[in-house]
Structure 1
């Protein structure tokens, strides 16, 4: 069931970022997606930003930590949620801190990371 929610989030992010979703700001789906993206951005800035570039153009402060906008070059995005949930994100930097996210936080993080992919 979790894989389905990721596919829905990724589809929504794709529609919004590609300009195919022309709903007004009052649309509840778009409002929720915006809220999720903002929550995901805040979570990664707080928990990951010391090592990873977490924005659209910033470099990673830690040389071994890839910027989040390039994660799809290293890892299939459709498998990212499962890997986070199972603790199978392999770090190139051994000092990566542990971060355990709730399912809701995980959805927001995945939505934000997906929105950064080119």
Structure 2
């Protein structure tokens, strides 16, 4: 194989890797944005769902502080079975697997160091 052909293959491989990284990043961004939209519609009435907003309900922790209470991954089961709590104001909501992934991905972006 001559040097020109090898150079062309290397260049094509490099371009392919860059495109793959962009698609994966866009996909992760899309999942995160979907999670953000879900919590804004379903949770923001009571919880602070952003990086700085406050919860309007006294018993609803801001999502950015959830990792101080328990591992964020523990939310997966609660979301799948329907979150229910000791206070009557919280509606029960059962999320689909795709919604769970998106919500956990988004909430994970809010957690501090």
Same fold (TM over 0.5): yes
User: Which runs of 4 or more aligned residues in structure 1 lie more than 6 Å from their structure 2 counterparts after TM superposition?
Assistant: none
Match of 1:102 in 2: 96
The size of the alignment, in residue pairs, is 94
8 Å contact kept, 1:48–1:54: yes
Q: How does 1:88-99 map to 2 (within 5 A)?
A: 89=83, 91=85, 93-99=87-93
Structure possessing the higher relative contact order (Cα contacts under 8 Å, 6 or more residues apart) = 1
**Which ranges in structure 2 are unaligned for 5 or more consecutive residues?**
1-17
CA distance in structure 2 between the partners assigned to 1:84 and 1:47 by the alignment: 12
**Which ranges in structure 1 are unaligned for 5 or more consecutive residues?**
1-22
1:36 partner SS? helix
Q: Deviations over 1:12-58 (max 9, x none)?
A: xxxxxxxxxxx78x711110110011110010000000000000000
CA distance in structure 2 between the partners assigned to 1:90 and 1:75 by the alignment: 16
CA distance in structure 1 between the partners assigned to 2:84 and 2:66 by the alignment: 12
Aligned with 2:55 (options 52, 55, 60): 60
Structure 2 length-normalised TM: 0.75
8 Å contact kept, 2:54–2:62: yes
Match of 1:39 in 2: 34
Structure 1 length-normalised TM: 0.72
Two-structure CA RMSD over aligned residues (Å): 1.9
